[in-house]
Amino acid sequence: MKIKLWINNKVYEDHVEPDTMLLDYLREKGFKSVKCGCDTTNCGVCTVYLDGKTVLSCSVPVVRADGHRVTTLEGVAKEAEEFARFMAAQGAEQCGYCSPGFIMNVLAMAKELKKPTEQEIKEYLAGNLCRCTGYEGQYRAIRNYLGATRANYQLFEKGEVIEGVR
């Protein structure tokens, strides 16, 4: 089947087998942040955005992405690096295998939920499994990130300059 899609704002046109999964196609194209952790749609490691919404790329046939926009961690590198600093400050990056999918979901949550409660954060990230930790470091990193970005956005909206923030 012939497909055309945009990955991180670059167009890709190919012929693919109907059963090719988006995860496999993305990795074939060099997007190594997208990984397979379970093959059962339970771990969240393969999370990407399809037209701005999170999807598990291991469960999406690439033909379903035909005509759509896909964003991987490489496509949100600036935001990902910013959140990754918060993770590192809390010692929450551990082995890093699950980090790309986790970060994709955190960034989506930050856009979708304005002032999430602890319970809302846990529910939003329930599909992300990490085998290295008890999640407390990640939750601290998320709270700190959300607090810092929300405070920065409020100051930017007022036209104030924040030292050291771009």
Domain 76-157: which topology?
A: DNA polymerase; domain 1 (1.10.150)
Give the per-residue pLDDT at 96. 82
Beta-bridge partners for 11: 6
pTM: 0.86
Query: In this structure, are residues 95 and 132 in contact, taking their beta carbons and an 8 Å threshold?
Result: yes
Query: In this structure, are residues 67 and 11 in contact, taking their beta carbons and an 8 Å threshold?
Result: no
Q: Where in the chain is the domain with CATH 1.10.150.120?
A: 76-157
Give the per-residue pLDDT at 151. 66
Alpha carbons 164 and 90: distance in angstroms, whole number: 20
Helices (H) and strands (E) in the chain, counts: 5, 5
Alpha carbons 156 and 66: distance in angstroms, whole number: 37
Q: Where in the chain is the domain with CATH 3.10.20.30?
A: 2-74
pLDDT in tens, the chain (166 residues): 999 999 999 999 999 999 999 999 999 999 999 999 887 888 999 999 999 999 999 999 999 999 999 999 999 999 999 999 999 999 887 788 889 999 999 999 999 998 888 899 999 898 888 888 778 889 999 999 998 887 654 443 444 433 333 2
Beta-bridge partners for 53: 50
Top-level class of domain 2-74: alpha beta
